[in-house]
Structures are given as C-alpha cells and as structure tokens.
Amino acid sequence: MRFDIITIFPEMFAGVFSGGVVKRALDRDVVRIAVHDLRDFTTDKHRQVDDRPFGGLEGMVLKPEPIFRAVEAVREAGGKVYLLSPQGRTLDAGLARELSAESQVVLICGRYEGVDERVVEHLADGEISIGDYVLSGGELAAAVVVDAAARFVPGVVGKEGSVRNDSFCGGILDYPQYTRPREFRGLKVPSVLFSGDHKRIERWRRKKALEKTARQRPDLAGPGALSPEDRDLLAETKNERKDE
C-alpha cells in the first residue's frame, strides 16, 4: 500500500514515521509513504500556494492550481484522494479498514482558513476528520490516518489477531489487560485469568469490555448497538455491581 501526503510543511513528517510498526512496515516495504511539498507544484517565482478568499473574509485559502497539479502528478490508476478537513467523515476503525484496502491513498493537508472548494468538489474522493475540533493544519491528522489505516494492512502488525482485538474493531472498547507481577502494591490481577478455562476467560473479557464501553462510551452500547447476548452480559455486570 502507498500513502502520498501533500503538504506545505513536509518537514513535519521527518520523525513521525521513524519508529513503531509503521517504521517496520516501511523497512519491509509492506507500506510506502511519500511526502510532497505543495510549493514544488507552483509556477510563480514566489511559490505561492494561498490567496485571500473572495467575499472579503479574513485569513488565507489554499489555491486550487498547485493542489490539482500535485494530485495529478502523484496519483496512480485507482488511487483515492482525501482532504484532511474538520468537515470530513470522522475517522474510525471502519474507515481505517476501508483505506487499508486501497492500493494508494493521497492525503491533502489543509491549512489556514481552508482549501478552495473546487478541490473538494472536483478532485477529492472525500474528506476525513479525526475529530470535532480544529487543528492548525492537516499534517497531524494525516499522520493519524496513516497510522490507523496501516495497522490493517497485512504484514504491518506482527500478530494480526491483536488488531482484530483493538478497541472499536468489534464495535466496543477493548477489555482490560494485565501482565507481571501478579500482585503489585496489594493490587491483584483477576484470578479468572489464571483459571486455564479459555471459555470462561473469553466471557470475562467480553463482560469487562461491555462494562467499560457502557461506562466510558455509552453511545456505543445503546439498545440497538448490542446483540441480545451482549445485552444479557451487560445486565449481568450491572447485577454483579449491585451485589458487591
């Protein structure tokens, strides 16, 4: 899979992919990432990429010409183009998985007051947001998108089963994790994890995941969001807390 990032601050990506699973994927050539300076696609001596918006508002808007040239220069057949924007579809596990199935994803990093709307309407396949807030630009968001999508590319994460168990991949948050020591400052690891009963452990994990989801992200645990079996498990956790 190939990611192409178009930005006016390419130096921001110098270290962001220099470690972790994405770095290992780059070293093994499982994923490729190319960062392109938008100013390289200008034609004037000042390498101007922005201008004042029509209508008299404050701020600057990224011009369409260099963005169109940049995308047309780097996009391969079948490649998808996305603008990082607060108005876009919110990045979640489902979208990250969709992106990972593409052969190429081109990410345009917005800046200033935004990007000329002709880029949105006639060049990009869509817009992506990483949350309901505004950043100084799309560079940090692009890095998040690459990391989230790359995890779903086969061969990026050593044990692909760990990706399937990540929070949100099953529609709910992840279950609690423990490691050595078995007891720390009087805090003990739940005994069920040492029972050797795998079915019992899986049931406990599911219950704890549902409990955490209901507590921290109730929007994911509404009446229509859970299966009848999960609703029964969640009811059990509530009854257990009452009996404590």
| Catalytic residue list contains 151 | yes
Catalytic residue of the set 86, 97, 203, 206: 86
Nearest to 54 by CA among 69, 64, 67, 40: 64
Rounded to whole angstroms, the Cα distance separating 224 from 198 reads 29
**Is 25 in contact with 55 (CB distance < 8 Å)?**
no
Residue 117 catalytic?
Answer: no
Tell me how far the alpha carbon of residue 37 is from its chain's centroid: 23
Are 81 and 125 in contact by the 8 Å Cβ rule? The answer is yes
* Catalytic residue of the set 127, 151, 211, 230: 151
C-alpha dist (Å) from residue 58 to 20, 53, 91, 194, 212: 40, 8, 29, 62, 45
Q: Which of 37, 98, 147, 166 is catalytic?
A: 166
**Is 166 an annotated catalytic residue?**
yes
What's the CA gap between 89 and 126, in Å, rounded?
A: 8
210 CB neighbour count, 10 Å cutoff: 24
Q: Write down the catalytic residue from 98, 113, 147, 236.
A: 113
Which phi-psi region, left, alpha or beta, contains residue 114 (left: φ > 0; alpha: ψ -120 to 50)?
left
Which of the residues are catalytic?
Answer: 86, 113, 151, 166
